[in-house]
Amino acid sequence: MGKSEIRTATARGARTPKKASAPARPVPRPARVKAEAPYHHGALREALLQAAERVLERDGLAGLTLRAVAREAGVSHAAPTHHFGDLTGLLSELAAVGFRQFNAAMASSSNAATTPLEHALARPKAYVAYAQAHPGMYGIMFRTERLDYSRPSLHEAAEASFAGLANAVGMMRQEQIRGDALTLQQGAAIARAWSMVHGFTMLLLDGRLEDILGRLPEGTTPERLLEAMLMSPVTGKPPGP
Amino acid sequence: MGKSEIRTATARGARTPKKASAPARPVPRPARVKAEAPYHHGALREALLQAAERVLERDGLAGLTLRAVAREAGVSHAAPTHHFGDLTGLLSELAAVGFRQFNAAMASSSNAATTPLEHALARPKAYVAYAQAHPGMYGIMFRTERLDYSRPSLHEAAEASFAGLANAVGMMRQEQIRGDALTLQQGAAIARAWSMVHGFTMLLLDGRLEDILGRLPEGTTPERLLEAMLMSPVTGKPPGP
DNA sequence: CTCTTTATCTTTACATCGTAAAGATCCAAT
DNA sequence: ATTGGATCTTTACGATGTAAAGATAAAGAG
């Protein structure tokens, strides 16, 4: 790989000079999938985000660089700068995409639940399931230090995630949760639910629960362990005799 | 900063040729603190680890590079390679140091507890306190993907941390925990304790609990929230009327 | 319709980083 | 005393993030 920076798209020099075919369509970049790339991409921002997601799933967090994303999208390495400012910007927008996917998964799983027990377990299970299905995305959302929450898209998506969680905990406690004030018990319940499922997910993704899982009865899955975690008291023995 | 790679130590060319002063001491590098640096450092490995810890606390995880550590220690940028192999090696050894500090803090706080309630809360509080006092170290230990647990020092230190946790949970449940086998309830208790405190710590360090803390009664500290988390049942309302 | 402006994308450049390889220096065993 | 090996430095290379300047196409003004 001597020269690097290979353009995946076609050569740049010989290009249609004046729009030969396609007699004037209003849409900036219609259904063109395999023609030669024009100088102006037309929807580079979305294309870059999708390319970033592909790179992330394929090469992991370490492989997710600005230049790799540009390569994947078939544009010059400096093209992302114009749309995202810098790497933090790209990561932040990608994290926002992740939060939206995440929120959608949580909502649909919650809607599918019927019994109270299912309702109680649906969201935590969906939480872990999303992280296992998209470990790279989850890493972007919760492992990276380089996120800019002042970006509206990220702020809103993360906020919605938190609101959904708080709401679910409130429903489970059968009380209304006001947006602006919480009792210590309410706050503790929310923080406990979030901490538990988030901590479990991170430890699971990092392989740090293998020690426990390996010592459990044969064939115990992480899901089963999570269920058991959620359905027993926190500290000490049950107060019975 | 034109040339970079500034040597913090003195110039290299003019050096004592044959050990002029200090008439033959057995210790390789005695109490020399400010003399000119010899070609062979003598205790570079430990010096690099200490330098790395300083860089980490000063510049954060992003500033912790091999070259920055070498600079801080006053040696050439390639010197760390010989002792740690690569960046993963340095991070892994530094994480091992962190786990040892961490284990010591947990043990001492546990020993200082007297009442059963103190015993129950001492370790979680020490856990969070360590992470708040050394956020960089905690990040190295739990946020970095680039750790090599096949290194004996890291493996042992992390294992000891896990054993201490499992043991503490077992004590709280007033049962003996066997090393090789766990019931689902035991495993769930350990995973719950670890997930909860680890998740809480990560969310706290990432500032993601600000939303909750800000809505709590005036002046509620993270420690108080943690206490409340640990002392209430997990799901649903208490079974009373 | 033509000209100008502006947004988008490319090229070029530079400092920094991790890592490999070769050279310099010193300790230690023979 | 000499040689071998460990320790540290120098040099080099490819990759990355980012800035700046140039090229191109779309949009708007006249």
pLDDT of residue B40: 74
Band (B237; pLDDT cuts 50, 70, 90): very low
pLDDT band at A37 (very low <50, low <70, confident <90, very high): low
Least confident span in A11-25, A131-145, B74-88, B183-197: A11-25
pLDDT of residue B168: 92
Assess whether pLDDT exceeds 80 at residue A1.
no
pLDDT at B238 over 70: no
Rounded CA gap, A117 and B57, in Å? 45
Confidence of residue A227 (pLDDT cuts 50, 70, 90): very high
pLDDT at A28 over 70: no
Report how far residue A138's alpha carbon sits from residue A77's, in angstroms, rounded to the nearest whole number. Answer: 25
Task: Give pLDDT tens digits for B38-53.
Answer: 767 778 999 999 999 9
In chain A, positions 14-73 with C-beta closer than 7 Å to nucleic chain C are 37, 39-42, 44-45, 70
pLDDT in tens, A52-110: 999 999 999 999 999 999 999 999 999 999 999 999 999 999 999 999 999 999 999 99
Name the average pLDDT for chain A.
84
Share of chain B above pLDDT 90, in %: 69
Task: Kindly tell me if the per-residue pLDDT of B8 is higher than 50.
Answer: no
d(CA B129, nearest CA chain A) in Å: 16
> What percentage of chain A reaches a pLDDT higher than 70?
79
Residue B118 confidence (pLDDT) above 70: yes
Q: Which nucleotides of D are covered by protein (CB under 7 A)?
A: 7-12, 14-21, 24-27
pLDDT digits (tens, 9 = 90+) for A185-221: 999 999 999 999 999 999 999 999 999 999 999 999 9
More confident residue, A231 or A12: A231
Give the residue whose CA sits closest to C8 at C1'.
A40
What is the least distance, in Å, from the CA of B73 to any CA of chain A?
Answer: 26
pLDDT band at A6; cut points 50, 70, 90: very low
Closest in A183, A233, A237 to B233, CB measured: A233
pLDDT for the residue B39: 66
Q: Which residue has the higher pLDDT, A7 or B19?
A: A7
Residue type, B61: L
Which pLDDT belongs to residue A216?
Answer: 96
Average pLDDT over residues B167-172: 90
Protein CA at A26 to nucleotide C1' at C1, angstroms: 20
Comparing B53 with B117, the larger pLDDT belongs to: B53
**Could you give the CA distance from residue A7 to residue A77 in angstroms, rounded to a whole number?**
10
Strands (DSSP E) along chain A, which ranges?
none
Q: What is the mean pLDDT of residues B4-19?
A: 40
CA separation for the pair A107, A119 (Å, rounded): 11
Distance between CA atoms of residues B123 and B165, nearest Å: 9
Give the pTM.
0.84
Task: Determine the distance between A47 (CA) and D30 (C1') in angstroms.
Answer: 37
Q: Residue B126 carries which side chain, given as an amino acid letter? A: A
pLDDT in tens, B119-154: 889 999 999 999 999 999 999 999 999 999 999 999
Distance from CA(B78) to C1'(C24), angstroms, rounded: 14
How high is the pLDDT of residue A180?
Answer: 82
Alpha-carbon gap, residue B81 to B45, rounded angstroms: 10
| pLDDT value at B241 more than 60 | no
pLDDT > 80? residue B3 = no
pLDDT classification of B180: cutoffs 50, 70, 90: confident
Residue numbers in A near B214 (CB within 8 A): none
* Residues B182-190, mean pLDDT to the nearest whole number: 95
DSSP structure class, residue B232: S
Quote the CA–CA distance of A192 and A198 in Å, as a whole number: 10
Residue B224: CB atoms within 10 A of its CB come to 16
Q: Which of B34, B71, B36 is nearest to B51 (CA)?
A: B71
Minimum Cα–Cα distance from B155: chain A residue: A208
Type of residue numbered B18: K
Confidence of residue A11 (pLDDT cuts 50, 70, 90): very low
CB atoms within 10 A of CB B111: 8
Q: How far is the C-alpha of A211 from the C-alpha of A27, rounded, in Å?
A: 56
pLDDT at site A233:
59
